[in-house]
Amino acid sequence: MPKKYHIHTSSVQNRLPKIIKSGVIAWEEGCLKCARCVKKECVYKVYEKRGLDGESMVDSTDTMCMDCFRCVQNCPNRLIQKGINPLYRDMGDEYWTPDIISNIWFQAETGRIPVSGAGYGGPFSGPGFDSMWTDMSEIVRPTRDGIHGREYISTTVDIGRKPMYLEFGDDGSLLTPIPPLVEIPLPVIFDLLPFSPPGDNIPQSLIAGARSINTYVIMKWSYLKEKGISPLQNIIPFLDGNTDDIEEGVIKSIPIIEIPDRGEPVSVQNRLNEINPQLVVMIRVELAPGIEEKACDLTKKGAHTLHLCADEFGNEQAEKPLFIKDRVRSVHGTLVEKGIRDQVTLLASGGIAMAEHMAKLIICGADCVAVDIPLLVAMECRICRRCKEGLSCPAKLETVEPQWGGKRITNLMGGWHNQLLEVLGAMGMREVRRLRGEMGRAMFFEDLEREVFSNLGQRGQG
């Protein structure tokens, strides 16, 4: 049995004042001038330490308050109230909600799972990943515990093409050519960022985070070449230009590369393998209607890995788009029907905001996932998208120290890794490879609704 994979985390403080959900509203008018003011009784000394951040104009009470509500309840004239912090409310958008951003910040700071003693407070149904529920029937077994070391649970996955069978000669020698494979200890790689402030600090932070947890980060070859980044350890070059732009020496020195889906990508893959037979080639394919046929065609032609990309909200490119979980589920099912699913690796990206999204996409048929925006959020991004318009970043991400950013990303992935172990343990599984395509261990709201209500209104049945 291989050594148990563990991500070492440590507390990494925020650079900026925290933006918490609620803010303190203290009215001075009507104060009774009590001999013992409730503000002086604050357990956390919030009012004694009170100050103002002149740069961001944030009152420290809104960042230090621990929401015990003691001052709110004990003020005899009810002059202290708690309200929704407008800075918190305005973060993100309908998909990347303030709660998601806040949870990512917590994990990036602490490396811990954001557990609430009040239980799950999110929706039990809704669009996207919220319409999918996972089976946790084994959670009552205390031995199913991969986090605390009482059981070994593997999160290792392979990227590359796999042979359907092995053929041996009369002397026992292996006759079947073995395609190249790259093994990663966590089913996550870091994807191209849809937006980011200018500068090299963010890319350097991504590289530091990838090396820390021994995974890979995808970066455009034009950027890598311009900056002279070498060696390309834990980096997957994405050939965003002509394939002739990358030197043979570089191709021979790297284990994995990504190419766009244009022209004849498998022919490009074969040319690259002529230079480096051990090179794993990923083909980046945009999710869209009809992707099932394209996936089958590329797999039959010999594709190693298909990177299925949705947009930052998890939607495919279409007038009426399907969500990523539904399209990946369809692609996986089609490949299974054709009897070729095990030949190819499916990597999925887009709209992955939480650890549970990673597990749910794997259940839908992905071998592993690629994340993007959560890596920026780990470095205190607020998803305002001002950088896309060339405006200044309120979180000053361009000034992030790569070592600090790498540690924040490591903490986030440590929290995600532990949550994946919780899911696998609660399902009674001892490796993440078994989770792929296990749709019998999940329920989909759309399917349940169809089964329950399909016969309503039809007379003469029953």
Give yes or no for residue 94 having a pLDDT over 70: yes
Calculate the average pLDDT of the chain. Answer: 88
Q: Distance between CA 16 and CA 394 in Å, rounded?
A: 10
Q: Is residue 244 part of a domain?
A: yes
Pair (45, 179) in one structural domain: no
Q: Is residue 78 part of a domain?
A: yes
Give yes or no for residue 223 having a pLDDT over 90: yes
Neighbour-count burial for 208-234, b at 16+ CB within 10 Å, e otherwise:
bbbbbbebbbbbbbeebbeeebeebeb
Give yes or no for residue 259 having a pLDDT over 90: yes
Query: What H or E segment, with its residue span, contains residue 107?
Result: helix 98-110
pLDDT at 284: 98
Tell me 462's DSSP state.
-
Pair (280, 392) in one structural domain: yes
pLDDT in tens, 164-211: 888 888 888 888 888 899 999 999 999 999 999 999 999 999 999 999
Strand pairing partners for 257?
281
Last residue of a domain, one of 68, 90, 112: 90
Pair (186, 79) in one structural domain: no
pLDDT at 38: 83
Q: Is residue 139 part of a domain?
A: no
User: Cα 393 to the chain's mean position, in Å?
Assistant: 22
pLDDT in tens, 282-337: 999 999 999 999 999 999 999 999 999 999 999 999 999 999 999 999 999 999 99
pLDDT in tens, 111-169: 988 876 555 666 677 788 988 988 876 655 555 556 666 678 899 999 999 988 888 88
CATH number for the domain harbouring residue 398? 3.20.20.70
Q: Distance between CA 430 and CA 231 in Å, rounded?
A: 35
Last residue of a domain, one of 90, 108, 138: 90
Pair (192, 280) in one structural domain: yes
Three-state SS at 136 = coil
Top-confidence residue, 370 or 146: 370
Pair (170, 84) in one structural domain: no
DSSP code per residue over 185-206: SSSEEEPPPS---SSSHHHHHH
Pair (245, 373) in one structural domain: yes
pLDDT at 53: 60
The pTM of the full predicted model, rounded to 2 decimals, is 0.88
Give yes or no for residue 412 having a pLDDT over 70: yes
Pair (298, 390) in one structural domain: yes
Pair (163, 54) in one structural domain: no
Q: How many domains does the chain have?
A: 2
- What whole-number percentage of the chain has pLDDT above 90? 60
Whether omega before 231 lies within 30 degrees of 0, making that bond cis, reads yes
CATH number for the domain harbouring residue 64? 3.30.70.20
User: Cα 2 to the chain's mean position, in Å?
Assistant: 25
pLDDT at 146: 62
pLDDT at 278: 95
Pair (38, 171) in one structural domain: no
pLDDT in tens, 26-76: 777 778 888 888 888 888 887 777 766 655 555 656 667 777 888 888 888
Q: Distance between CA 455 and CA 366 in Å, rounded?
A: 33
pLDDT at 149: 62
Q: Is residue 17 part of a domain?
A: no
Q: HSE of 39 in the Cβ direction (CA atoms, 13 Å)?
A: 19
Query: What H or E segment, with its residue span, contains residue 52?
Result: strand 52-53
Q: Is residue 373 part of a domain?
A: yes
Last residue of a domain, one of 36, 65, 90: 90
Range(s) of the domain holding residue 63: 22-90
Pair (266, 364) in one structural domain: yes
Q: Is residue 246 part of a domain?
A: yes
Give yes or no for residue 271 having a pLDDT over 70: yes
Q: Is residue 228 part of a domain?
A: yes
Q: Distance between CA 32 and CA 75 in Å, rounded?
A: 10
Pair (169, 285) in one structural domain: yes
Pair (275, 379) in one structural domain: yes
Q: Is residue 170 part of a domain?
A: yes
The number of beta carbons lying within 10 Å of the beta carbon of residue 291 is: 22
Specify whether the CB–CB gap between 196 and 397 falls below 8 A: yes
Specify whether the CB–CB gap between 295 and 331 falls below 8 A: yes
pLDDT at 55: 56
